Amino acid sequence: MSTPAVRLVDLRETPLDVAEVVAALDDDASGGLTLFVGRVRDHDGGKGVDGLDYSAHPSALERLRQVCARIAEEYDVTGVAAVHRTGALAIGDIAVVVATTAAHRGAAFEASRALIDTLKAEVPIWKHQRFGDGSDEWVGTP
């Protein structure tokens, strides 16, 4: 499933590059680019986080492509990009980058919000958090 507005979709074990996502959406028709960068924070639920691991189901990349295509169809955008990390991440690492471009800022903001929210709700990527007290927690598992 390929939509011309969908420019970059990937899952990677290597560090994410915000500049790559911005460059993938570069075009003269876009007056606005909205970018969301999700990072690993040092706390969750009142506990200190030491790090985490992201695991993806084998269907996750195809599901991410479908989500991006749906956002491109439902919103008045010129570009869509989404890249998510897998594997071990440390505090401060970038876990996900999503971005959309549109002729006007309003459409870009709405589409980017829908993109990250839908990705989190529908793409089978699971987070295993490791806490400073030695405990751990899986998030987003079925």
Q: How far is CA 132 from CA 23, 43, 93, in A?
A: 37, 9, 17
Residue 16 has phi, psi (to 5 degrees) of -85, 150
What CATH number should be reported for the domain whose range is 6-133?
A: 3.90.1170.40
Percentage with pLDDT > 90 across the chain: 94
pTM assigned to the model: 0.94
SS3 55: strand
Please report, for the chain, the start and end positions of each structural domain, with discontinuous segments joined by +: 6-133
Distance of CA 102 to the CA centre of its chain: 18
Does 2 score more than 60 pLDDT? no
Q: How far apart are CA 32 and CA 109, in angstroms?
A: 9
- Can you give the pLDDT at residue 3? 59
